[in-house]
Amino acid sequence: MTEQKSSNEMWGGRFASGPDAIMEEINASIGFDRKLYAQDIRGSLAHAAMLAKTGIIAADDHDKIVDGLNTILSEIESGKFAFSRKLEDIHMNIEARLAELIGPAAGRLHTARSRNDQVAVDFRLWVKDELSKTASALKKLIEAFLERAEEHAATVMPGFTHLQTAQPVTFGHHCMAYVEMFGRDLSRVRDAIQRLDESPLGAAALAGTGFPIDRHMTAKALGFREPTRNSIDSVSDRDYALEFLSLAAICATHLSRLAEEIVIWSTPQFNFIRLSDAFSTGSSIMPQKKNPDAAELVRAKTGRITGSLVGLLTVMKGLPLAYSKDMQEDKEAIFDAAETLELALAAMTGMVRDLTVNTASMKKAAGSGYSTATDLADWLVRELGLPFREAHHATGRAVALAEAKKCDLAKLSLEDMQSIHPGISEAVFGFLTVDKSVRSRQSYGGTAPQEVRRQIRFWKKRLIRQ
């Protein structure tokens, strides 16, 4: 009994005295890597099937291993499995339980593999599964934006640069900007899946194995495109984890920018949108307050994801090939970032579908700050043939005159306009309204409602293909 325990704890031979409490504490990863149980069992089932087919283990041993692993899977999913810190990680916990269930046949499962390639394949499978979830969540967010964009393709609002009123745009056009951003995030997810879609199982510790294994068989069984091509890189690569954190950090940054706009837009000073009680909270002392806490929390959680990326980059930066125990630090960062991103995407999708648009406030603000000044400059170029720089200066003088008279550009008299340039005619006033300004921006990707609707159609078709 004592001999079996020593074998399970991996501390035989020169480590017969065993680790002390501090070593056990720093070495154990079962507290977090138990999340990999399903992937670990999938990998073991594929490995066992390959060992049996190639004649490396007997069919009878294979059958016992399959039955035992399926029993363990059932125990874990029903909450009956007893995890042990003394067994370090999910791999040894499962292996020890398998030995209890089926006896010596369990020891044959680890033939022609190492914990190095075992954890590498488990982690790749987990990240691949999570990327698929992220892709699905991003598609739902994009679909929510497409619905709002279609609804508000002609809803006028101010466009901003430097958070100052710049030119009139439509809320639909603004929504489509986020469709483009999250569409790039989705493409990064697809690219990441393509790059990690190789199985490291069979690389063993770092040099491969002398057993006649079939790595293409296990790769196919696990849903990978093909096996990895270098055994050293197979066990030391964590690019896929870094890439997941990188795309997660970029996506979270996009979510944070959107959250910031929701926070600003929902203030009484802007009054562009309103969130329902489902995504707001009240104040403990000020009964009139309605706080956009969901958006603020999405904005804050971006820091956690970015921190996870920086943390893992720092872990990996000084590691020689091949495997080092430092790489055990890769999982908690990924697990936390994945959970955080999943929650943030769900929350933001809910907010986009939930928010109410105050079209009157948006339209009123769209005309503030002389937002149609560029339209005046364009008219001077188009109708009077002025060089744009000259038209720009003339428009600047018109804005200064409007400021002095405390009125909008459209409220200046024809005489006022002609004092800026004598060639200006009454026709110019038809181009100084926000609606006319927006409709005129018909260039590809512009804010004109017809162009917004064209881009909506494009994205609907694109999402179907993805």
Q: Say which residues have a Cβ less than 8 Å from residue 145's Cβ, sequence separation at least 6.
A: 175, 176, 178, 179, 182, 352
Which is the catalytic residue, given 132, 283, 413, 425?
A: 283
Mean pLDDT score, 55-70: 98
24 has a pLDDT exceeding 90 = no
**With 0-12 CB in 10 A as exposed, 13-18 as middle and 19+ as buried, what is 305?**
buried
Angle of CA points 61, 66, 69, to nearest 5° = 120
Check residues 6 and 200 and name the one with the higher pLDDT. 200
State the Cα–Cα distance between residues 53 and 214, nearest whole angstrom. 9
Quick check: bond before 347 cis, omega within 30? no
Q: What is the pLDDT of residue 376?
A: 85
Determine the Cα–Cα distance for residues 452 and 90; give it in Å rounded to an integer. 51
Q: What is the mean pLDDT of residues 95-100?
A: 97
Q: What is the pLDDT of residue 282?
A: 59
Say which residue, 410 or 130, is predicted with more confidence: 130
Identify the bridge partners of residue 281 per DSSP, sorted by sequence position: 291
Mean pLDDT, range 247-268, rounded to an integer: 97
1-15, 422-436, 449-463: the lowest-pLDDT one:
1-15
Q: Which of 172-181, 273-282, 393-402 has the lowest mean pLDDT?
A: 273-282
Say yes or no to pLDDT of 221 above 50: yes
pLDDT at 6 > cutoff 50: no
Cis, peptide link before residue 322, omega less than 30° from 0: yes
- DSSP for 260-292 reads HHHHHHTSTTT--EE--GGG-B--SS-TT--B-
162 given a catalytic annotation: yes
d(CA 100, CA 104): 9
Q: How far apart, in whole angstroms, are the C-alpha atoms of residue 35 and residue 14?
A: 31
CA pair distance 328, 326, nearest whole angstrom: 5
The length of the chain in residues reads 466
Predicted confidence band of residue 289 (pLDDT cuts 50, 70, 90): low
Instruction: Write down the H helix ranges in 114-205.
Output: 115-151, 171-196
Can you give the pLDDT at residue 5? 46
Q: What is the pLDDT of residue 465?
A: 80
Q: Looking at per-residue confidence, does 61 or 420 come out higher? A: 61
Token pair, residue 56, equals: 């490396």
Most confident of 50-64, 394-408, 436-450: 50-64
State how beta strands 164-170 and 273-274 pair: unpaired
Q: For the chain, give the mean pLDDT.
A: 91
Q: What is the band of 368 on the pLDDT scale with cuts at 50, 70, 90?
A: confident
Strand partners, 161: 164
In which element (H, E) is residue 72 found? helix 59-77
- pLDDT of 345 reads 98
pLDDT at position 55 is 97
Query: Coil, helix or strand for 98?
Result: helix
Tell me if residue 283 is catalytic. Answer: yes
Amino acid 283: pLDDT = 56
End-to-end CA distance of the chain: 55
What percent helix, strand, coil does the chain show, rounded to 5?
70, 5, 25
User: Which one-letter amino acid corresponds to residue 192?
Assistant: A
31 vs 108, higher pLDDT:
108
Q: Extract the runs of DSSP E, i.e. beta strands, from 206-337.
A: 226-227, 273-274
Note the pLDDT of residue 22: 75
Closest CA to 348 of 129, 186, 140, 132: 140
* pLDDT above 60 for 272: yes
Phi-psi region of 288 (alpha: psi -120 to 50; beta: other; left: phi over 0): alpha
C-alpha span between 228 and 225 (Å, rounded)? 10
Q: How confident is the model at residue 360 (pLDDT cuts 50, 70, 90)?
A: very high
**Predicted pLDDT at 298:** 96
Q: What is the DSSP letter of 369?
A: G
Q: Which two three-digit tokens encode residue 27?
A: 């070495």
Report whether 201 contacts 43 (CB < 8 A): yes
Per-residue burial over 163-197, b if 16 or more Cβ lie within 10 Å, else e, is: eebebbbbbbbbbbbbbebbbebbebbeebbeebe
DSSP 99-122: HHHHGGGGGGTTTT--HHHHHHHH
What pLDDT was estimated at residue 3? 42
Residue 2, pLDDT score: 41
Q: Are 254 and 189 in contact (CB under 8 A)?
A: no
Q: Does the structure show a pLDDT above 90 at 103?
A: yes
The model's pTM = 0.88
Segment 185-199 shows an average pLDDT of 98
Domains in the chain (CATH in brackets) are 22-111 (1.10.275.10), 116-153+167-211+225-360 (1.20.200.10), 365-455 (1.10.40.30)
Quote the pLDDT of residue 417.
Answer: 86
Q: Is the pLDDT of residue 335 over 90?
A: yes
Given 17, 78, 162, 284, which residue is catalytic?
162
In three-state secondary structure terms, 156 is strand
Q: Residue 366's Cα: distance from chain center in Å?
A: 32
Nearest to 201 by CA among 402, 9, 48: 48
**Pairing, β 198-199 against β 226-227:** parallel
